Structures are given as structure tokens and as C-alpha cells.
Structure 1
Amino acid sequence: MDMNAYLSMFIDESQDHLQALNENLLKLEGDPTDLSFVQVIFRSAHTLKGMSATMGFEDMASLTHEMENVLDLVRNSKLSMDAFIFDVLFKGLDALENMVGDITNGGQGKADVSNIVASLKSIVDGSYLSRAETAAASAVAVPPANAAIDEFQLSVLKQSMDSGLKALRIDVSLVESCVLKAARAYMVFNLLEERGEVIKSIPSVTELEQEKFDRSFTVIFVTQQDGEELAEAISNISEVAVAQAELLDAATLEQLARPEPAAQPARSASTAAQSAVVSATESTKANPTARSEGGRQAAPPAASRTIRVDIERLDALMNLFSELLIDRVRLEQLSGEIGRVELTETVEHLSRISADLQNIVLKLRMVPVDSVFNRFPRMIRDIAKSLDKKVELVIAGADTELDRTVIDEIGDPLVHLLRNSLDHGLETTQGRLEAGKPETGTIWLRAYHSGNHVFIEVEEDGRGINTEKVRAKAVENGVLSQEEASKLTPDEINNLIFAPGFSTADQISDLSGRGVGLDVVRTKIFSLGGNVSVESKLGSGSKFSIQLPLTLSIITAMLVRLGSEKYAVPLTSVVETGILKREAILSVHGNRMMSYRNAVIPIVSLSKVLETSDFREEDEEESEYIVIRKGDKWAAVIVDDFIGQSEIVLKSMGAYLGSTPAVSGATILGDGQVALIIDPNALFK
């Protein structure tokens, strides 16, 4: 598999996670006791680790894992944040940003992070506390005197002053004990970026990011704000000892302007702020012929061929198109009634155009799960190798499409389920041989449509869930009492593994034992409006089934009538239609059944399920039926009459009617009537 196909996606998602890590770490620094920030930071770090390992960037994965170890102690209240921990974590984020920058420019994301890793490990084992405390803030270092500006910078400053802006010289000094000077410089630049424009920094941004300065630096800055306010804001940044702002006038600028042979090129504030952190690829950018390790020509930057659109805009587009679809159907009806050739031709052309538009609108939101599934073979291979297990991953239904909002969120739960299957589910090679199984275990990853839902299954032929061990662990963890546990069925016991913090792992590893597992899966699936369950047989294996809704989508449905009301049944669940004579109805143990293709399937009365009052199928000598299917289950649904097939837009009924039995939504038909959409999966219950 060519992982380069997913490189652009990895870069985009990594940058998002790093941005979130920086923002939330800064928030945590403002309130170190708020563990909600720690939970968010931990999730981002955990996801970034998994993505990096999947793509084969081991340096990123190992560094993130060490950061995750520290965060895990903090979120479990076993470690309190202090300045040293914040500094090391910020330095780790800097290194990760450098690695992502290197990957973006065709590198392998490698970096020497041994010092950071050593610091992180010293935090985990507590040895960093034994280091001698250095003095807090001592005498303020003298700011650099060389604050010369070139002619271009002088011109920019004069134009800014002419337009009413203030030109400031800001001298910043850090405390003597500051460990991560580059990180603090970045925080200063980040603050200034929001309030004006940096014209020059002394030392240069390159020297700042490489920490080639003592404890002080100077910034020439233009802004609308008052210098004292800026100096106070900078002073509030952690480990900034003193910040002084001096208002520059024309005479002072002339004194600063003198030739500078090795002047640093002028940079915008955004460039300066970024350079204070991401610098590992600076030389590569400057030198296009730079080679990567082993003398190979570095690959060109991975150009992104995608743009990100706010999902609310896609929702608005979908709603507008649904109105257009309703009008199109109405126009088709009117043209048939009027019978004018010109009108008919125009409406037919409109139908073709809107059909093409419909395909585009659908494709904007619907994405094949292949984009998620194809990340897993490499991950399974690496984990199996580390666990010394032989495994085959079988993927089916990768072309099944899901709403983009769902596809973006489903990756993490699937990573957890696959790791769980490989780590907990499958036996070792020796264990499988002793159990009389093939030495190579199998994990199936399937996706398929059923009604208004997509089902994703993760199944393995491993040892299965030990219900007694789960029961005992649940009682031990206080999930339920001994009396409650004794009343549970095997399936109910198996589903206890989704309880928060529940783990039966005998030892802690980077795969299991953190309490970040199946409870995260369930929470995420529930937030998407779906459900997750597990079936297991001891000694034979387990199957996790995720049910996800198809939201905000246009589908083809079979319209049926039930008395005076119209209903829509998604065509993806319909196998065929037919007519059933009363004498052909069978009774099996009191349940109504019918013969169908050398089998006997149950009969479901839609009028009884929906409790309709104006249709009684008992009065009918012949009844129309629809055969529906869910996986390997079949059923016949009795209706009043068939109307025909039609394209409909799924509309949520909101919280007020959201719990209506067997109904998953509604749609507006061409004649303006509202038709409820039947959920075939609910009929099987």
C-alpha cells in the first residue's frame, strides 16, 4: 500500500492536533488545576501518536508516547504541573512541529530528541525533583545594543508612523532559570502578532529559535496600542522577568538606520512567530537542492489538493438543494398534467441538471470508509510484530460511503477496536496452536449499508471474552455490586467492557491498560448518534458492531401508503415486493410467518407497529408486502399499497419526535406532503 496517498491528510491532521495541543497547553498554564484541559491535551497526543505510528514516523510516535506518559500521570492526579513540566512539554511540541515541517518538505520527520525524552522520563520517575533549585529571577540582563535597521525597514517604519501607528522598541529579558528560551520567545512573538507587526528582531529569529542568545532580545514593532500596555502583557508571560517598551520617533529611527552587511531579511510578524518554533526545515527551504539522509534527493513538498469547508456551509447547501429537489418533483408532476411539449422538454433538462448537481452535493459530504480503512494494514502489521503474533487483516466493504462528519470521527474508535482485537483478542502463536487453531489469526474489518445506517464490524477468531473475569473486574472496580453482577446475562456482562476506565489488561503497555479504550469508543459513537455492541463466544472470538446513522443525505426510497398516510422505506434495505394471499400466512409458535425462497421469514405488520387507525390488514384478502434485510436476517413488512420509487432528502425530526418507534426521520414529497421514513433495522427488534 502506498502511504504517500495519505501524506497530505496526515500533515493536515497533525497540524490541527499540534495547534490544539499548543492552545490547550497555554490554557492549562493559566490554570494548572483544571484537569479538563489535561484530558483534551491527552486525547490529542494519543491520536497524534497513533497517526504517526500508522504512517511509519517512529520518532514522532516515540516522542508523543513519552509526552503521553507524563500527561497520563497528570490526568490521574498522580503528578502536579509545574514550570519545569510545562517547559519540557512545550519543547516537545516544538520538536513535533519541526518534525511535521520536515515531513511537509519531503523529509522523514527525524530529529534528535534524546534530551527531551530524557527530561520526560525524569518527570515520570520523579528524579527531576531532586535537582537543585536555581534562583528565581535575578538581575535583568542588559538588552542587546545592536538594534540597527536597514533602509527597507526604515521605510516601512516611517510609512507606518505617517499612517498613525506607533513605532516601539521592546526589550525583553527572561529569568535566569529559564530552560526553554525559544519557547518563551515564541510566546512573546505570538502575543505581538495579535497586536501589530514585527519589523525586526535582535538577535534574528533564526538565532532566537536556536537559542543563540543570552536571556534578552529586542523587537522593533509597529502597533496602535500603548507601549506600557504591551510591556505589561509581555511581563505576564511565564518566565519573562522584565519587558520595557520605548516609543521611537523620527530622530531615533535615523540613528538606528545604518548599513548592516549581514542584515536579516525583513519578515512579517506571522513569519517571525512561526520561525520562533518551526525551524528544522529552514535550510531546506533556502536550498532547494538539499538532500535528505543517504544522499537522496529530497522529495518535493506534498501539495494539498483539498480545501476544508465549514460543515455548516455544507449543511446549508444540502438544505437548499432539498428545497430544489422538492420543486423539481412538483414541476415534473405539473408538466405531466399540462402536457405542453416546451414545458416538458425544459423540465426534463432541469431534471438532468439537478441530477448532476445532486451527485456533486452528495459527494461533497459522502466519503468512502476506504480513506479510513487503508490506514490500518500498516498499523496491524507493526503491532503484530511487536506482540510476536501472526495475523491477517481482511477488509470488506471499503467502498461503503459515510457522511464526512462521521468519517472524520470514526478513525480513533476503530484504532482502539483493532488494537483491542490484536492485543486482547488474538492468542499468541503458541496459544493458537495449543487451542487447535491455525497459527495465523484473522481480523475482519467490514462495512455495509443497512437501512438508514452503516454498520462497521471488527471481528477476530481469538480467545473470546472471559465473562467471569469481566464480572469479577466489574465488581472489583465498583461498576456494579456482586448481586447485580450475578443477574446479568452473558451478553450484558460482555458489554460491561465499555464502562469508563474498565480494563482487564494484566500489564500496562502503549496498547492497553491506560483506561483509554472501549469507553472512549462508546462515548465517541454515542456522540455521532450511533451505537456499539459486542458479541463473543469464549474460545471462538469476538465481534464488535458499530451502528452509525446516515445523516443529511439524499437516498432513493420506496414510497408506500398506509391508510391515508405515505411512508418511505430506504431502497437499500428493500429486497423485493410482492402480494401475499391470506391463506399463505403461516403460524409458527404463535408468530405469523411466510414462505420465501425455500425459507420461512417473519411477517411484520407496519400498521400495528405504527398504531395506525385507518388501515386494517385483517380486512384484506391480499396484502402487499416488502421484503427487507438486515445482515443475514429477513422479514416481510405488510403495507396498504405501493406508490413507487422516489429520491428523498432525510430530515431529522428533532428531539421532540426523535424517539418515535421505527421512524428515523421525515421527508417532504413533491406535492408538499410530509412522509415519515421507516427504519427497517428497528422493525427487526
Structure 2
Amino acid sequence: MFRGFHTIKGGASFLSLDAMVGLCHRAEDVFNALRNDELSVNSQLMDIMLPVLDVLNTQFDTLRGGQEPEHAEASMLLALENLLKGNAASAAPEAVTTDAADEAFDQLLESTDVAVPAAAGDGEEISEEEFDALLDQLHGEGKHSGVPGDKPAGTTADGSSAAKAPLPIPPVPAGEKISEDEFEALLDQLHGAGKPAGVPATGKAVAETTAQKTESEPAVENKPAPESKSVKESKPAPKAKTAAKESATAETTVRVDTKRLDDIMNLVGELVLVRNRMATLELTTQNEELSKVVGNLDVVTADLQAAVMKTRMQPIKKVFGRFPRVVRDLARSLKKEVSLEMQGEETDLDKNLVEALADPLVHLVRNAVDHGIESPEDRLKAGKPRAGSVILSAEQEGDHITLTIQDDGKGMDPDALREAAVIKGMMDEDAAARLEDRDCYNLIFAPGFSTKVEISDVSGRGVGMDVVKTRIEQLNGTVVIDSELGRGSIINIQVPLTLAIMPTLMVMLEDQIFALPLASVNEIFHLDLTRTNVVDGQLVVVVRDKALPLFYLRRWLVAGANYEELPKEGHVVVVSIGAQRVGFVVDQLIGQEEVVIKPLGALLHGMKGLAGATITGDGRISLILDIPGLMQSYVRRI
């Protein structure tokens, strides 16, 4: 952290961004005290430093927008100073005081005011030669220009200037990495003396460069430029090989625009369609040579698909990284004590899914802290530890990722959920009484549903959980809740590794082909449909002593289907919608097939129940069904 703030301060000073320099300097003092064991990390320090980080991020955003960053509030700078003053009061007398640090910082600003305008004061950029010279110093070719002293260098051209001139840094042979001290000296040169050495030889000190601008004789007699040249001439051959080796290693990583990866993934998807078409032709021709070619194509396509998917993968820790701050801030605002444990942060997920899951996960974690975890007093009365626990984990299971949010709070009361559903008019008392506990937990995903009496800026309005479920379902995922009163709750989210290619179950309804996402399919069985019953107006069939809601897909998806002439036997595909299971009656099962999801046209875009379309192995167009959306549309028609 100290090095990070120091680097930002150096760059900001070079660009004359005084607002960022002042904030980073005071934050840097705090981190310097921390690394010297003069301060210890506690809640008071974190309460001060986290808002500092927020302000710094805001300044970066302002800078990206092409505007000058605003100064941090005086109260924030004062809090940083008080943090150091409190440390200085308890430290030894020889410790550096805040006043001394401020004096040194003022001298640094004076030095910057003198030297920076030559480089960037009039909106001029550093020249290409100066930039190359700086790179040479970074890579160890020659000597560094030196570290600026306490007073501005180059203010005079007489002998006194030589006393104030910076001392040269010892030469670094080519091919060797510079040390931390040399790197810090180089940063100090950037923001303490303005322009770096302007000649590609890069050996002269900053004070000498400034003296040349004032048309005076150079103050430094021992010019490091010749030394740099001699070092360069006498460099040993093995180190040159080492440098070339390090350079080759550094070039093994290439930054690629994500759009290019998306284009490659789309081409792989087209290749999958061609493979499916070839496999269908191979079955019809019964040609041995063609079978070998199709087999090889299948292997290569699968390997290529896996390789491209890996290039799009990112660790889930990119999302997890924001949760410690979210939990800490929310717990303090609610006067609760909460510890957060994160597991499986290195689990890889498609980049698009990582970004799409960020907001739903933030809402679920905030919900666990607000609704789940009790106050410290209530936890002590219940015989629990004073601090609550929230566990956030990620794990890959086959071609899916399972995310779990678990808390050891008060859990959910199914009776309270039933009562709230009746009060809000979602169902009558008889229907609520028949609900199983797991079905009651899923009521929280209904729009406008909330059991909280008081509405706060955190929760209580009943908006959010329905958005979470909708967003996860849009990712072809599922969310399931399990809870135990007094013990806590567990929320399981399951999403596919990628959205580009989807394994499906192809079914036939009359003469039309439809695709069901294979991840939602639980089981398939052949059934005598005359054994069905009607409960509360809903057709059900008893499977393993449990009533299963039954729906004829043909009634909704096939235009002009005859409702009276329904088959007496049929295939039933049992699918999961969260914790609920339903059965879809289909006319024929075709089999499993990997498909590429194509967006629907303008006329069908946004239609409930349809996730997209694809081309089957025999060249026909098949609609991909969105099961949650399908149920919403179909149930409303019943």
C-alpha cells in the first residue's frame, strides 16, 4: 500500500495534480508509520483510510473525464494528521513529527513548482528522447540521475548549487534489475526535480540539466555519463543473454480486446454447428472414412472450444474482492459485528458472467447482513458468539459454477412468510397452509414481498430479491434457498461456465423441434397420462408418492393444437425451477445436443419463454426455451 500511494504521488506530482499529491502524501505517511510498527491497524484507522481510498478513486474518475480532480475535504486531511500526531505523541522523541513531514512536503512542492513547468507546465508532454532515457534508467542501462535533496535543485548556478545537487546513484549493469531504493530515487526524481535527463545517454544529474537552462556552467563535475558508457561497453556476455531471456519472457503475455475473444467464440460456435451437421450426415451415409473424419473433427472442435473458453475465464475473486468493504460498512451502520469468510476465490468463470453476477451477489450479501445476522445483544441471549459469520464460497461442478452465501443468523420463519403472503394477497390461507417450508422460502423472490416492518435505506421495500432471481435466470442459472429458524440460511446459486454454447435436450412437439436447457432437466420417464389427477384446478401426476404439476407444452407452443385429442401416453420431462419441480409432456425425444444460442429477431425479441434460436444438426431451426419465463407465461394462461 505504501509503494502504491508513493507511485501515484510521483505520477500526480509530475503532472502537477496537487489535489492527488496532497492526499497521497498524507496517506503515505500513515502507511510508512504502519510498516515501521509505529501505528497498528484498528477500526479507527480503517474508518479513516477507507474513505481516503474512495476519494482517490473519485479523483481518478474525474481525471479520466478530462477534468481537474478536486481537493479532499479539509476534515479528511486533518484526520490523517491527527492519526500521525497521536502516534507522534506516544512515540520516542527522535521520531519524525508531522510538522517535520509537512515542512519536507512543502519543500518538495517548492521544488516541483520550479522544475515541473519546464516539462508539463504549459501542457507540453515529455519528449520521446526523455521517455527513452527514462526507460533506459528503469532497465538498468547507465546511472540514474539521482535523488533530489531537501532543497530545490538548480536554483543557482554558483558553487553553492553543487552542494545542493543530488548525488548520483551507483551504476546498474545491463540486464540486472534495479533495486527498490533506486526505483524510489527515480520516482523522487520525477516529482521532485521535474524533467528527467533529456539526453539518451541519461547520465547527467537533474541539477546539471537545470543549470544548463540558466546558461551556467554545470555544477556537478563527476558526470556519470562517461561511467555509464564504460559500464555499457564492459558488460559481460552472460548477463546480456540473461537480459534477452528476461525480455523474451516478458513478451509471452499479450493484452487482447475482449471483443476479439467474443468474435473467436462466435466462430467456434459456428464450427460446433458444422460439426453437428457432419455428425448427422455421417449417421445417414454409414461411411467408414467419413466417420473417422467426423470423429477427428469432434475432438478438435471440443479442444478448440475448451481453449477459447479458458481465454475468456477470470477468477471470481474479481467480484469477491469488493465484499469485505461492503460487509464492514454495512455492519458498522447497523451496529452489528460480522466476520466474512471467502472460499474458492480462484474459481474461474466466464468474464461476462463475472460482471453480470456482481450486483446480484452484492444484494444477497447485504441481505444476509441486514436480515440474517442479529445484533450482538440478541446473539448473546441466543447463546451464539457476539460476532455473526457470513461465508461466501464458489466451486466448479462439471460445466457449472455453484455460489453459496451462508450465514449463522436467525434464519427464516416459514409461518411468518405464509402470513405475509396472505396479508399481501398473494394466496389464501388454505393455499398458504399447504406450502412446504422450502416453498415458503422462495416467496421472498416475489415482487414487493418483505416481512420487515420498518423501511430503511438498506431494505424493507420488497424490491431487490425478485430482481436478483430474474437476473440469475437470465444467465440460465438457478437460485435455491434453505433455512433453519435460529440457525441461519443458505442461498445456492448455480450458473453455467459460459453462455455462448449450451447443452440442450431436443424434443419434438408435432412437427416442430424445441430445445430445453439440459441444466434444468432432472429426469425423463414414459407415463400413462390417464393416471393424472386435478388438484386446485392444476393437472398433477403422482411420482414416487409426491404430486408433480403437469403441463402440455403443445397447448402453448404449437399453433392450432387440438386440446381435445391429447395422447393417452407420452414422455414427461421433469425440470427444476429453483426449488420447484414440474413435468412437461412432449411428443417425442430427439436427444442431447450442444447448440449455439442465436438472438431472436426484432419481432420475437423479449418474448417470454424464448431464450433464443439455434440450427440443429439436420439444418432445421429450433427455438430454445426459457423455462422460468415459459412458466410465467403458461401459468397465467391456466
Q: TM-score, structure 2 length as denominator? A: 0.54
Equivalent residues of 2:573, 2:585 under 8 A apart: yes
Give the drift of 1:86: 3.9
Which whole-Å CA distance do the structure 2 matches of 1:308 and 1:639 have between them? 48
SS of residue paired to 1:676 = strand
Q: Structure 1's 213 and 337: CA in aligned 2 closer, same or farther, altered over 3 A?
A: closer
Equivalent residues of 1:88, 1:120 under 8 A apart: no
Q: Which residue among 244, 252, 262 is the counterpart of 2:224?
A: 262
Q: Which residue among 629, 643, 646 is the counterpart of 2:576?
A: 629
SS of residue paired to 1:329 = helix
Question: Mapping of 1:541-552 within 5 angstroms?
Answer: 552=499
Q: Which residue among 198, 206, 214 is the counterpart of 1:220?
A: 198
Give the drift of 1:602: 0.5
Q: Structure 1's 381 and 575: CA in aligned 2 closer, same or farther, altered over 3 A?
A: same
**CA distances 1:100-155 after superposition (whole Å, capped 9, x unpaired):** xxxxxxxxxxxxxx999339999xxxxxxxxxxxxxxxxxxxxxxxxxxxxxxxxx
- Counterpart of 1:295? none
- Counterpart of 1:117? 80
Q: Is 1:566 matched with 2:513?
A: yes
- Counterpart of 1:503? 458
Which whole-Å CA distance do the structure 2 matches of 1:336 and 1:533 have between them? 39
- Counterpart of 1:643? 590
Equivalent residues of 1:532, 1:547 under 8 A apart: yes
Equivalent residues of 1:392, 1:442 under 8 A apart: yes
Which whole-Å CA distance do the structure 1 matches of 2:41 and 2:496 have between them? 35
1:572 alignment partner AA: A
**CA distances 1:337-384 after superposition (whole Å, capped 9, x unpaired):** 333322222222222222222232333335675886699799989999
2:448 alignment partner AA: E
**CA distances 1:649-672 after superposition (whole Å, capped 9, x unpaired):** 223336653322222122221222
Equivalent residues of 2:190, 2:196 under 8 A apart: no
Which whole-Å CA distance do the structure 2 matches of 1:668 and 1:556 have between them? 13
Which whole-Å CA distance do the structure 2 matches of 1:520 and 1:581 have between them? 39
Which whole-Å CA distance do the structure 2 matches of 1:526 and 1:65 have between them? 30
Equivalent residues of 1:495, 1:534 under 8 A apart: no
Q: Is 1:210 matched with 2:188?
A: yes
- Counterpart of 2:500? 553
Equivalent residues of 1:388, 1:428 under 8 A apart: yes
SS of residue paired to 1:502 = coil
Percentage of pairs with the same residue: 29
1:67 alignment partner AA: V
Equivalent residues of 1:604, 1:683 under 8 A apart: no
- Counterpart of 2:544? 597
1:583 alignment partner AA: T
Q: Structure 1's 504 and 641: CA in aligned 2 closer, same or farther, altered over 3 A?
A: closer
Give the drift of 1:427: 2.2
Which whole-Å CA distance do the structure 1 matches of 2:543 and 2:466 have between them? 39
Equivalent residues of 2:349, 2:497 under 8 A apart: yes
Q: Which residue among 481, 492, 504 is the counterpart of 2:448?
A: 492
Equivalent residues of 1:311, 1:405 under 8 A apart: no
Q: Is 1:65 matched with 2:45?
A: no
Which whole-Å CA distance do the structure 1 matches of 2:473 and 2:199 have between them? 47
Q: Structure 1's 623 and 118: CA in aligned 2 closer, same or farther, altered over 3 A?
A: same
Which whole-Å CA distance do the structure 2 matches of 1:363 and 1:521 have between them? 32
Q: Structure 1's 674 and 382: CA in aligned 2 closer, same or farther, altered over 3 A?
A: same
2:273 alignment partner AA: I
Q: Considering only CA atoms, is the larger Rg found in Structure 1 or Structure 2?
A: 2
Equivalent residues of 1:559, 1:567 under 8 A apart: yes
Question: Mapping of 1:298-377 within 5 angstroms?
Answer: 308-366=255-313, 369=316
Which whole-Å CA distance do the structure 1 matches of 2:606 and 2:259 have between them? 25
**What runs of 5+ residues in structure 1 fail to find an aligned partner?**
1-9, 33-44, 50-56, 76-81, 93-113, 123-173, 223-242, 247-251, 268-301, 468-487, 506-517
Structure 1 window deviating more from structure 2 (617-626 vs 211-220): it is 211-220
Equivalent residues of 1:430, 1:439 under 8 A apart: yes
Q: Structure 1's 647 and 405: CA in aligned 2 closer, same or farther, altered over 3 A?
A: same
- Counterpart of 1:432? 379
1:65 alignment partner AA: L
2:306 alignment partner AA: N
SS of residue paired to 1:432 = helix
Q: Structure 1's 445 and 610: CA in aligned 2 closer, same or farther, altered over 3 A?
A: farther
SS of residue paired to 1:220 = coil
Which whole-Å CA distance do the structure 2 matches of 1:495 and 1:547 have between them? 26
- Counterpart of 2:166? none
**CA distances 1:18-45 after superposition (whole Å, capped 9, x unpaired):** 99xx99xx99x89x9xxxxxxxxxxxx9
Give the drift of 1:609: 3.6
Question: Mapping of 1:373-388 within 5 angstroms?
Answer: none
Equivalent residues of 2:515, 2:625 under 8 A apart: yes
Which whole-Å CA distance do the structure 2 matches of 1:644 and 1:612 have between them? 24
Question: Mapping of 1:148-227 within 5 angstroms?
Answer: 192-193=125-126, 197-198=130-131, 204=145, 206-207=147-148, 209-210=187-188, 220=198
- Counterpart of 2:153? none
Give the drift of 1:559: 0.5
**CA distances 1:581-600 after superposition (whole Å, capped 9, x unpaired):** 23111111110001112211
Equivalent residues of 1:199, 1:220 under 8 A apart: no
Equivalent residues of 1:522, 1:532 under 8 A apart: no
Q: Structure 1's 88 and 374: CA in aligned 2 closer, same or farther, altered over 3 A?
A: closer
Which whole-Å CA distance do the structure 2 matches of 1:351 and 1:340 have between them? 16
Which whole-Å CA distance do the structure 2 matches of 1:213 and 1:443 have between them? 44
**CA distances 1:44-82 after superposition (whole Å, capped 9, x unpaired):** x9xxx9xxxxxxx9799777514246579999xxxxxx9
Which whole-Å CA distance do the structure 1 matches of 2:469 and 2:117 have between them? 36
**CA distances 1:386-422 after superposition (whole Å, capped 9, x unpaired):** 9884768596x98986422222564576467536634
Q: Structure 1's 599 and 439: CA in aligned 2 closer, same or farther, altered over 3 A?
A: farther
Q: Is 1:585 matched with 2:532?
A: yes
1:331 alignment partner AA: M
- Counterpart of 1:668? 615
Equivalent residues of 1:558, 1:569 under 8 A apart: yes
Structure 1 window deviating more from structure 2 (212-221 vs 656-665): it is 212-221
Which whole-Å CA distance do the structure 2 matches of 1:214 and 1:64 have between them? 25
Q: Structure 1's 625 and 448: CA in aligned 2 closer, same or farther, altered over 3 A?
A: farther
2:81 alignment partner AA: A
Equivalent residues of 2:339, 2:388 under 8 A apart: yes
Which whole-Å CA distance do the structure 1 matches of 2:68 and 2:491 have between them? 43
**CA distances 1:561-616 after superposition (whole Å, capped 9, x unpaired):** 11221111121211111222231111111100011122111112222343533575
SS of residue paired to 1:320 = helix
Q: CA RMSD in A?
A: 6.6
**What runs of 5+ residues in structure 2 fail to find an aligned partner?**
20-26, 32-39, 61-66, 86-106, 135-142, 149-185, 201-209, 230-248, 417-443, 633-638
SS of residue paired to 2:622 = strand
Q: Structure 1's 610 and 121: CA in aligned 2 closer, same or farther, altered over 3 A?
A: farther
SS of residue paired to 1:192 = coil
Q: Structure 1's 115 and 524: CA in aligned 2 closer, same or farther, altered over 3 A?
A: farther
Which whole-Å CA distance do the structure 2 matches of 1:213 and 1:264 have between them? 26
Which whole-Å CA distance do the structure 2 matches of 1:339 and 1:532 have between them? 41
Which whole-Å CA distance do the structure 2 matches of 1:354 and 1:617 have between them? 46
Q: TM-score, structure 1 length as denominator? A: 0.51
2:557 alignment partner AA: L
Equivalent residues of 1:432, 1:438 under 8 A apart: yes
